[in-house]
Amino acid sequence: MTLVKWALPQLSELLPLDEESLKEIILYTNTLSDAEATIHLTSLLGDTPKAAEFITSFNAHRSAVTAEKSKLSSDVKGTPPANAPPAYAPPAYPVVSQNTSMLLGRPHMNRVIEAANVRARDEQEMQFALQNLQLQYGIYNSEIEPEHESDYYCGCAIHTYQTRKYHRYGVQEMWSNAVMYPGEKAYNEGYYTSGLANNLSTSMFSSNPYKYNVISPYGMYVSQWSSQRPKPDSHAMSIHQTIQMNNSLNRQAQADIDAKEPRINIWDELDGVNTTMSNMSIEAAGSNAPDRKVLPYKASDEKRQSVVTPPKNDTAEASTKSSKFSFRKAIGIKSSEERAVAKTEKRIRKGRELRNSILAEERGRWPNEQWQQIVTSYQDKVGMTRKIRHLRARQPIQYLHLLRAGYFEPIPVAWAGATSNPLKFSIEPASGWRGITPQWRGYEDTAEERLYWVLNHREGVAGMRMKPDFIYAMDMARARMASAVEPPPQYYAANDTCHLQHTSPGYSKQVMPTPFRAYDRPEVPTDDTMILLDVSGSMDFDPVRPFYNKYLITGYQPSTQPKNKDVAKAIIRRFTDAMANHDHAFGGYSLTTFSNQAHYIGNINHQNLEAMWRNVRIGGGTRVMTGWQKVKDLHFQKHSASAIHHPVYGWQAGPETPMLRLLLLLDGEATDMDEFELDLLGLSWAHVTIFLIGVDGCPHHHRHANELQRISDVNHHVSFVDAQGNTPERFITHELLKRHLGYEISMTEFEQMEELPAYSVSA
C-alpha cells in the first residue's frame, strides 16, 4: 500500500480538508526528514494523543517503505555500526553573516551569537524528534533516550535518530568553542573527542567524564538483540551518579576559572603596573648602555639586592659574571629576572587584550545612549547592578563570557516568536551540550540556567538559591502532595464544574496557598486587567496521573475529575463577574489564548462568555512567550503615548504607563516558562497572578507548583495559586482576587463581588 493510500483516511479524521489538499500535505510531508515532518504535522494537527499516534505511524510507515527499497538496491553489510559516527566529516556550517543575525534582530555579532544562530536551525527539530522517539518506545521520562536494538545499523527509528545526532557534531563543536572557558575541553557522548582544530579526531578512550562514571538507566551487560526497557534500580542509580558528577564538575569548573582571572584590576591598575615596571631594570654587566627591562615589584627583590651587591671595583668578578650571562643568553637560557619580566609582560598584554575585548563588545551591543539607558534600567530593576560591576572589575573573563551571551540586558523581543532561540537550547552534560555559566551542569536548558544565575546574584539575596536536583525535587513534590487538606467548607458551591459533571463525589484535598502578603501597590482605577489562557492540547485531555516505580514512570492512570478547559472556563467566569462588580468595567476584560501561537479573542463578560468561548481553539504546544508578547502589544497599543518601542528590546514603559494586571491560567509547565519568568524579573509595570490547574495526586503538578512558588517568593510581581482534581472554584477565585487586586479581601466583600453584575442594556 502506498503512503498516500495508507495516510489519507487517517489524516481526514484529524484534518477536515478536501482529498486533494490532504494528498498535497502527505506528499509534501514525505519530502521532509522525520524531525521536520514531526514539526510540520504537529503545527497542523496539534499535540493531541491521536495526532501523536498518527505522526509516529506516518514516520514508521514511510521508514519501512524506504528500508525495503534500500534493501533491494544495496547491500547493508557495509553499513557502519550503530554506535559509530559516519565515516565522512559532518557537514560544514557556514559562518553567519551580520545580515543573517535573525535571532537577535541586531547588526552586532560575536562567536556566541554566530553559534546560537547555527544551533537554532535544527535544535527544535531534534527536541521534537526525541519526544517522538520516546513516545514510540513507551519511555515517559524526558531524560532517558531509547537505546539501540542491535549492534549493527538496522535502519530502525533509534538508529535514524542517532545518525541525525552524529551529523550535529559540527554544530556541537562550534557551540562548545563559543561557550567554553579557558582551559576547558570539548567532548561528546561517543568514543570520539572533538578537537579544537579538527571536526573529529579519534581517540582510544572517550574524554566524556560521564561515560565510565554513570551507569545506563538500562543497566549493565544487557543484550542488544532485543528491545530494551529502562530498569527502575539502574535508573535511580544513574540519577544519583549524575548528580554527584554534576556537583563535582561544577565546583571544579568554578574554581578553575576563578584561578585564571587577572590578579589586578584591568581598568585601574594596568597603568600603575606599567609605571612601576618602567622604574626597574636589569643591567647587563659590562655593557656601556643599560638594557632596560620591565620588572614587577617584589619585596624579595629588595632583600636579594641588599645581600648580593657586587663591588664596583671588582673587574674580574664582573668580567666572569658578564661572560656567564652572555653564554646563558647565547644559548637561550633566561635569567630568573628575565623570566619574571616576560611573565609580567604577558600578563599585562592579556589584561589589555581582555579590556579591549570587553569595550568592543559593549560598544557593539549597546551602540548609543538609548540602548545604554535601557540596559542600565534593566540591571537596576533586576537587582544586578552591584554584581555586574563587581564582575567587570574583578572577574573580567567571566564578565566578558556572560556579556557575549546577553546576560546583562533585556531579552530581545524577536526571541518570543522564534521556533528556537538561545534560551531554548537543551543542556546535556552526558552528551557534551554545554550551558553558559561555569556551573552549567544540572540545568535542563539555557533559560533555566540564566534564571537561577540571576536569582542567585540579585542584590539582597541571602545565600545561594540552587536548583533542586531531580531526587530532591521529587521528594519535595511528594511532601507537598501529602500536605493537602480538605478545602474550607464555607466555599462549597453546588454549581462547581466537578458537581455538575459528577466526575467523583466531593472536592479533592488541596494544598493551602501561602498566606497573602501585599508587595505591589493595590489596584487603582487606571490599572489594566487582562486574561491569558493556555489552550494547549492537554487542556482537552482526559486527566491522567503518572505511575512511578522509584523515579521511573512506567505508565499513567486516569483521574476522575473534569477536563482542565472546563475548570479554566468556570474560573474565568467567576473571576470576570467579581471584577465587574469591583471596578464596574461591564464591557469586559481582554482574553488572549496561546499554544504554539497566540490569538486575541476579544473582551469577555458575563453576557458574551458563551459566544466568545466558541472562538477558543484547543490544540498545540505550550509556549507562554507567544501569549505574553501578544498581551504586551495589546497593553502598549492602548498606552503607547506613555511608552517607547525599541527595535530589539520591544516596548519600554514610561513613568505614566498604567500597570498591567494579568491573570494567567496554565495546566502544566510551558516549554518557555523560565524565559517568561526571566522577562518578568526586569519589569516594574506588570503584576501577574498565575493559576495552575493540576491532576489529583500527580507529582509533576506539585514539582511545577514548587517551582512557581520559589519564583513568587523572590519576584514580588508574580503571585501564584494552584488547584488539583475536583476544584473548589469559589475558594480559588477568592485567593486569585486577593493577589490580583493586591489587598486582603474579606469573606463579606468577596460574597458581594460574587453577585451577578447589574449589566446595563448598552453593555
Query: Which contacts (CB < 8 Å, 24+ apart) does range 263-270 have?
Result: 263/347, 264/347, 264/351, 265/393, 265/394, 266/351, 266/352, 266/354, 266/355, 266/396, 267/355, 267/392, 267/393, 268/393, 270/348, 270/351, 270/352, 270/355
The predicted pLDDT at position 149 comes to 63
Give the residue from 74, 100, 126 where a domain finishes. Answer: 74
Amino acid letter, 252: Q
Residue 694 counted as domain residue? no
Instruction: Show the low-confidence residues of the chain (pLDDT under 70).
Output: 1, 16-18, 20-21, 24, 28, 35-36, 39-40, 43-44, 46-47, 65-106, 149-153, 191-206, 221-227, 269-334, 461-466, 757-763
Write out the H or E segment, with its range, that includes residue 574. Answer: helix 564-583
The predicted pLDDT at position 518 comes to 83
Q: What are the angstrom distances between the C-alpha of 701 and each of 441, 473, 543?
A: 24, 12, 12
The predicted pLDDT at position 282 comes to 34
Calpha distance 541→251 (Å, rounded):
43
Q: How many domains does one find in the chain? A: 3
The predicted pLDDT at position 322 comes to 53
Residue 592 counted as domain residue? no
Instruction: Enumerate the β-bridge partners of residue 360.
Output: none
Q: Which residues contact 31 (CB under 8 A, 6 or more apart)?
A: none
Q: Is beta strand 528-534 parallel, antiparallel or unpaired with respect to 660-666? A: parallel
Buried b (16+ CB within 10 A) or exposed e, 667-700: bbbbbbbbbbbbbbbbbebbbbbbbbbbbbbbbb
Q: Is beta strand 192-193 parallel, antiparallel or unpaired with respect to 201-202? A: antiparallel
Give the residue from 367, 385, 405 where a domain finishes. Answer: 367
The predicted pLDDT at position 320 comes to 52
The predicted pLDDT at position 410 comes to 95
Cell 512557581 sits on residue? 708
Residue 474 counted as domain residue? no
Q: Which residues contact 549 (CB under 8 A, 6 or more apart)?
A: 232
Residue 292 counted as domain residue? yes
Residue 203 CB neighbour total at 10 angstroms: 13
The predicted pLDDT at position 364 comes to 94
Residue 281 counted as domain residue? yes
Amino acid letter, 574: R
Q: Which residues contact 576 (CB under 8 A, 6 or more apart)?
A: 531, 588, 589, 604, 605, 606, 609
The structure's pTM equals: 0.78
Residue 585 counted as domain residue? no
Which domain covers residue 325, as residue numbers?
Answer: 262-305+317-367
Give the residue from 20, 54, 74 where a domain finishes. Answer: 74
Calpha distance 465→459 (Å, rounded):
13
| CA dihedral of residues 518, 522, 523, 529 (deg, nearest 10) | -20
Q: Is beta strand 598-604 parallel, antiparallel or unpaired with respect to 589-594? A: antiparallel
Instruction: Enumerate the β-bridge partners of residue 591.
Output: 531, 602
Residue 256 counted as domain residue? no
Residue 162 counted as domain residue? no
Distance, CA of 323 to chain centre: 65
Q: Which residues contact 33 (CB under 8 A, 6 or more apart)?
A: 125, 164
Cell 561528546 sits on residue? 188
Q: Taking the alpha carbons of 205, 208, 214, 215 in that order, is the dihedral positive or negative?
A: negative
Calpha distance 277→274 (Å, rounded):
5
